[in-house]
Amino acid sequence: MFKKNFIILICLIFLGFNVPKVKAAEECFEGVSRGIFKFNMAFDDIILEPLAKGYNKLPTPIQQGTGNFTSNISTLLSIPNSILQGNFKDAGHATGSFLVNTTLGILGFLNPAERIGLKPVKEDVGQTLGAYGFGPGCYFVLPILGPSTARDTIGLIADTFVDPFAHITIREQELFGLSGNSLDYYSVKGTGAVDFRSNNINNFDSLEKNSIDLYSSFKSIYLQDRENKINNSKNSQDDWGNLDN
Amino acid sequence: MKKLIVFLVSSIIILNASFLYGYSSNPEEFVKELVGEAINKLSDKNLTKEEKKIFVEKVALENVDIKALSLYTLGELRKSAEKDKLIKYQSTFEKYFLKSLTSRLADYSSSKFEVTSSEKKSASYTIVNSKVSPSDGSPEIKIDWRIYTKNPDKPLIRDLIVEGLSLARTQKEEFASILSSNNNDIIVLIQKLEEFVNN
């Protein structure tokens, strides 16, 4: 019974994001998502934000080193995804950056790769699916993880199969003599989240203070960001038309 | 004599205003001059918070196309809304925009600002590209300015695109969500904006 329901759910999600005309703004279950969003905001107030504020009090080199370390590990996910998207130049940059930072950069705490012009572009399976032409499907909010779409949630699960770091941690497989466990994986991801939150303390505060519907602001920002990442662009779409005064 | 005094006073006010807020008509120079002056004023420790607020509001009223922004953020409803409600919405939006802007700039910390390039998209639009390097060593931020150039002598800002995220589009989608969950009733949106302004 569970298996059958699970298959139906997966099919529905796939149908949702395979139909090209489904608008990203369409919600799967807005009421539930708004409830989860409230829970996430409470989680942020009680746990994430205090951690981020504490993290911000650490000496700058420690903060930078931690940010570099988590960022370097996440480069591993970008390598296969850049290849899958046919962006071999980006794959080369990501590979070079990972190798240089892991060795010369002392396990990624330093970022000498940037100084020699290696700039990895962050890629994941959600972006790869987007690059293949899959639409985002409907929008919803995941507990703790935040805003997502049908495509990006599938991508999030697939990431753990594509990411070499997930292989040696979550699946405890050995790669080049290295192995770890789930705790390593979630510790790195959690630290990455704290680092991101600490870099955006003012942005979050400003957004919270100036939004009349915070849920929608987060949704808009998330969808614009994903759209830009899929297009590897930082240009917003032009929908002003001929709006003249 | 009275006429002369009125003329002199008017001239001084106009000259003073154009000296303070009359920026170049070239979009790149316009952004450069406007931001340069804003950085100077906002980081001036001799100015009170209230003086900075007045400055920001004046500059925004002069150089941001608030009217167009209000219509854009209303989406398709701008075409079907009743005229009196639309006027009420625009007036409330202006107050909302100014309050939101001054709130965002209240905690300004000095940054290095640089215009990097610009691209003329059409007769009406030029996108000016810039970058901001915060003095606290945080990563550089890319900001694109959508400048409305229909009147080539008076460019106006219509949108800021921060790291690819359009502030106008975010606002539009936020309003769309409020409208869609309230039967597209513009009065509800006006009430929400008034609540924000009065809080």
pLDDT of residue B107: 64
* Number of domain units in chain A: 1
Greatest extent of chain A over all pairs of C-alpha atoms, in Å: 66
What is the share, in percent, of chain A residues with pLDDT greater than 90? Answer: 74
Q: Residue A90 falls within a domain, yes or no? A: yes
Q: Residue A163 falls within a domain, yes or no? A: yes
Spell out, as residue ranges, where chain B has pLDDT lower than 70: 1-21, 106-110
What's chain A's average pLDDT? 88
For B40-75, how does the pLDDT look when each residue is reduced to its tens digit (9 = 90+)? Answer: 888 888 988 889 899 999 999 999 999 999 999 999
Instruction: Please give the residue of chain A at the shortest CA–CA distance from B107.
Output: A202
Q: Residue A205 falls within a domain, yes or no? A: yes
Could you tell me if A135 and A152 are in contact, meaning their C-beta atoms sit under 8 angstroms apart?
no
- Chain B nearest-CA distance from A156, in A, is 22
pLDDT of residue A68: 95
Q: Residue A122 falls within a domain, yes or no? A: yes
Mutate to test the interface with B, among A34, A55, A212 (most CBs of B within 10 A): A212
Q: CB-CB: which of B71, B138, B196 is closest to A212?
A: B196
Average the pLDDT over each of A67-71, A111-115, A127-131, A169-173 and give the range with the smallest value. Answer: A169-173
Q: Residue A241 falls within a domain, yes or no? A: no
Average the pLDDT over each of A63-67, A92-96, B20-24, B69-73 and give the range with the smallest value. Answer: B20-24
A202 at B interface, C-beta within 8 A: yes
**Cα four-point dihedral sign B45, B49, B50, B54:** positive
Q: Residue B178, SS3?
A: helix
Q: Is the Cβ pair A240, B159 closer than 8 Å?
A: yes
Residues from chain A contacting residue B107 (CB–CB below 8 Å)? 202
For A231-242, how does the pLDDT look when each residue is reduced to its tens digit (9 = 90+)? Answer: 988 776 677 777
For A132-174, how does the pLDDT look when each residue is reduced to its tens digit (9 = 90+)? Answer: 999 999 999 999 999 999 999 999 999 999 999 999 998 888 8
Domain extent for A111: 2-18+31-229
pLDDT of residue B15: 41
Q: Is the pLDDT of residue A19 over 90?
A: no
Q: Residue A25 falls within a domain, yes or no? A: no
Q: CB-CB: which of B65, B139, B174 is closest to A245?
A: B65
pTM above 0.90, yes or no: no
**Cα four-point dihedral sign A119, A124, A125, A126:** negative
Q: Is the pLDDT of residue A186 over 90?
A: yes
Q: Residue A235 falls within a domain, yes or no? A: no
* CA A211 remoteness from chain centre: 23
The domains of chain B, with CATH numbers, are 3-198 (3.10.450.710)
Q: Is the pLDDT of residue A45 over 50?
A: yes
Interface of A with B in 56-115 (CB under 8 A): 60
B192 at A interface, C-beta within 8 A: yes
Q: Residue A238 falls within a domain, yes or no? A: no
Q: Which residues contact A126 (CB under 8 A, 6 or more apart)?
A: A149, A151, A152, A154, A155, A156, A159, A226
pLDDT band at A179 (very low <50, low <70, confident <90, very high): confident
